[in-house]
Amino acid sequence: MLLRMVRCSFLHADTYEEVEADKSSIVQATVVVFLAAVSAGLGAWLETFSWHPAYSDSLDLAFEVTARSIEPLALWVGGAAFAFMVGSSFFRGRETQTDYAEVLRTTGFAFTPGLFSVLAVLPPAALGTGVMWVFRLWMLLAVMIAVRQALDFTTGRAIGTVLVGWVLGWLVMWGLVSVTLQVLDLVGI
pLDDT given for residue 105 in this prediction:
95
Burial 135-167 (b: 16+ CB within 10 A, else e): beebbeebbbbbbbbbbbbeeebbbbbbebbbe
Phi-psi region of 11 (alpha: psi -120 to 50; beta: other; left: phi over 0): left
- At 103-114, the pLDDT tens digits run 999 999 999 998
User: Which residues, 6+ apart, have CB-to-CB distance to 188 below 8 Å?
Assistant: none
- Please work out, in degrees rounded to the nearest 5, the angle formed at the alpha carbon of residue 170 by the alpha carbons of 82 and 68: 115
Q: Is-cis flag, bond preceding 124, omega within 30?
A: yes
156-166 residue pLDDT tens: 999 999 999 87
Going by C-beta distance under 8 Å and a sequence separation of 6 or more, which residues neighbour residue 50?
121, 123
Question: How confident is the model over 90-106, as a mean pLDDT?
Answer: 88
pLDDT mean across residues, the chain: 87
Once rounded to an integer, what is the mean pLDDT over residues 71-93?
89
The predicted structure's pLDDT at residue 100:
93
Residues 130-143 have a mean pLDDT of 90
- SS3 category, 110: coil
pLDDT score recorded for residue 93: 78
Please check whether residue 150 is in contact with residue 25, taking contact to mean a CB–CB distance below 8 angstroms: no
What are the phi and psi torsion angles at 56 (to 5°)? Answer: -65, -20
Q: For the full predicted model, state whether its pTM sits above 0.75.
A: yes
| Phi, psi (rounded to 5 degrees) for 80 | -65, -40
Q: Assign 142 a pLDDT band (cuts: 50, 70, 90).
A: very high
Given a cut of 90, is residue 48 above it in pLDDT? Answer: no
81/53 Cα distance (integer angstroms): 38
Write the single-letter amino acid at 142: A
Confidence label for 50 from pLDDT (cuts 50, 70 and 90): low
